[in-house]
Amino acid sequence: MPMIRVEMFEGRTIEQKRNLVKAVTECFIETCGGKPDQVHVIVDELSQENWGVGGELFADK
């Protein structure tokens, strides 16, 4: 069972997340084969105050 994790900043609509899950699943099936009902997509939404790069929080940029 493939598991694909997407980490992104919060703020997308549920419709955007539906479209993302559908597109990621379709792309995986086209590229690697398998059945859509076996592909798990997990969307983790984080606030900008919980994500940093280069020693700096995104919230501080």
Residue pLDDT, tens place only, 3-28: 999 999 999 999 999 999 999 999 99
pTM of the entire structure? 0.89
The pLDDT of residue 51 is 96
Q: Report domain extents, the chain.
A: 3-60
pLDDT recorded at residue 18: 98
Per-residue pLDDT, 19: 98
Tell me, what amino acid is at 33?
Answer: G
Report the topology of domain 3-60: Macrophage Migration Inhibitory Factor (3.30.429)
Q: Which of 11, 7, 48 is nearest to 57 (CA)?
A: 48
Find the DSSP H helices in 7-61: 14-32
Residues annotated as part of the active site: 2
φ/ψ of 33, rounded to 5, equals 85, 180
Which whole-number Å values give the CA distances from 44 to 15, 23, 31, 33, 58, in the listed order? 15, 17, 23, 25, 16
Residue 11 DSSP one-character state: -
Tell me: the pLDDT tens digits for 29-61?
999 999 999 999 999 999 999 999 999 999 999
